[in-house]
Amino acid sequence: MLSSKERAYLRSLANTTEPVLQVGKSGITPTVIKQADDALTARELIKVRVLPKSGHGRDEIADRLSRAVSAEVVQRIGNNFVLWRRNLKEPKIQFP
């Protein structure tokens, strides 16, 4: 569980990043889960865009994807949300 200061720090880091994953009309497929898992392993912090024609709400997709990849939802804004998962072998993000 993230503290409010850790969440604010991660939000500030995510502010300048572009979405690395898009969820479209197919919703959350095994391919999307695999891509999110790989991206989180490499980066620890990713931004995901939910396309308007996905047929599912951003909050529902964020919750389902975060559970599928064992990550935490840091922020939800517009059609985007930010996921974070610490890489235990090679941490990339150090909290101040």
Give me the pLDDT at residue 46, please.
97
Instruction: Output the CA torsion 16→14→50→89 (10° steps).
Output: 130
pLDDT for residue 6: 96
User: What is residue 10's predicted lDDT score, i.e. its pLDDT?
Assistant: 97
Q: Tell me, what's the pLDDT at 56? A: 85
Q: What is the structure's pLDDT at 37?
A: 97
Task: Report residue 91: phi and psi, to 5°.
Answer: -60, 135
The structural domains of the chain, with segments of one domain joined by +, span 4-84
- Contact partners, residue 72, CB within 8 Å, separation at least 6: 1, 2, 66, 83, 84, 85
Helix (H, G, I), strand (E, B) or coil at 63: helix
pLDDT in tens, 60-93: 999 999 999 999 999 999 999 999 999 999 999 9
Neighbours of 33 (CB within 10 A): 14
pLDDT of residue 53: 84
Q: Is CATH 3.30.110.60 the classification given to domain 4-84? A: yes
Tens of pLDDT, residues 5-61: 999 999 999 999 999 999 999 989 999 999 999 999 999 999 999 998 888 899 999
| Closest residue by Cα to residue 90 from 42, 34, 46 | 42
